[in-house]
């Protein structure tokens, strides 16, 4: 078993998600918002956020994988599962778990923009700005974190630990 050190406790994550939802609700006042959940890491974050947004919400899901050697993304993204619905004329908010190099997301945003949404914004639970290679404009950020590999709240290490209710760091023995 790996040892997990808590980086951001559950109460803090939830309090911050509540704040983000309030900000999003204000910004989209009078409109509806389509949340685009990027599977699988963003599932927990998307659900918690969606529950607290007060403007009308619809949700869709996309699964992508970036071609790479495992630890570094290359920016070439393969769509494993596309959205079910068109996004043309919708106000779409892409929900990510974490932005690292930014390569996956910059590819994804370009692809979604080509589908002519009314507006497109980006919301991420975590951001590791020190790791950025490709610039991406983030509209809503939960927490900026140092360059450490984190798990929990949807984030995995080899598919494990997604269900932890806090953000933690794997400390291998």
Binding site for Mg ion (CB under 5 A): 41
Name the minimum Å distance from CB 13 to ligand IMP: 15
Cα–Cα nearest to 104, from 138, 64, 137, 70 = 64
Q: Which is nearer to ligand IMP, 58 or 134 (CB)?
A: 134
Name the minimum Å distance from CB 38 to Mg ion: 7
How far is the CA of 39 from the CAs of 1, 9, 44, 110, in angstroms? 26, 23, 10, 18
Cα torsion 50, 124, 74, 137: sign = positive
Q: Which is nearer to ligand IMP, 54 or 160 (CB)?
A: 160
Name the minimum Å distance from CB 37 to Mg ion: 11
Name the minimum Å distance from CB 107 to ligand IMP: 8
> Can you tell me the distance from the alpha carbon of 158 to that of 61, in angstroms, rounded to the nearest whole number?
21
Q: Which is nearer to ligand IMP, 12 or 132 (CB)?
A: 132
Q: Which is nearer to ligand IMP, 12 or 40 (CB)?
A: 40
Residues that bind ligand IMP (CB under 6 A): 41, 66, 73, 96-105, 149-150, 155
DSSP 26: H
25 binds, among Mg ion, ligand IMP, none (CB under 5 to 8 A by kind): none
Name the residues annotated as catalytic: 100
Cα torsion 127, 74, 170, 50: sign = positive
100 binds, among Mg ion, ligand IMP, none (CB under 5 to 8 A by kind): ligand IMP
Question: Phi/psi at 140 (nearest 5 deg)?
Answer: -135, 125
150 binds, among Mg ion, ligand IMP, none (CB under 5 to 8 A by kind): ligand IMP
Report the b/e string of 25-38 with b at 16+ CB within 10 A.
eeebeeeebbbbbb
């Amino acid at each position: 078993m790996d040892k997990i050190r808590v980086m951001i406790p559950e109460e803090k994550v939830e309090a911050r998600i509540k704040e983000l939802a309030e900000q999003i609700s204000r910004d989209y006042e009078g409109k509806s918002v389509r949340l685009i959940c990027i599977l699988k890491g963003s599932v927990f974050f998307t659900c918690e956020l969606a529950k607290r947004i007060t403007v009308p919400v619809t949700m869709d899901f996309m699964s992508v994988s970036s071609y790479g050697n495992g630890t570094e993304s290359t920016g070439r993204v393969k769509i494993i599962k596309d959205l079910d619905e068109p996004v043309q004329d919708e106000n779409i908010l892409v929900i990510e778990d974490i932005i690292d190099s930014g390569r996956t997301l910059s590819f994804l945003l370009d692809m979604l923009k080509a589908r002519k949404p009314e507006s497109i914004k980006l919301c991420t639970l975590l951001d590791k700005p020190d790791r950025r290679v490709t610039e991406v404009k983030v509209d809503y950020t939960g927490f900026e974190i140092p360059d450490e590999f984190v798990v929990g709240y949807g984030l995995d290490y080899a598919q494990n630990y997604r269900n932890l209710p806090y953000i933690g760091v794997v400390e291998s023995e």
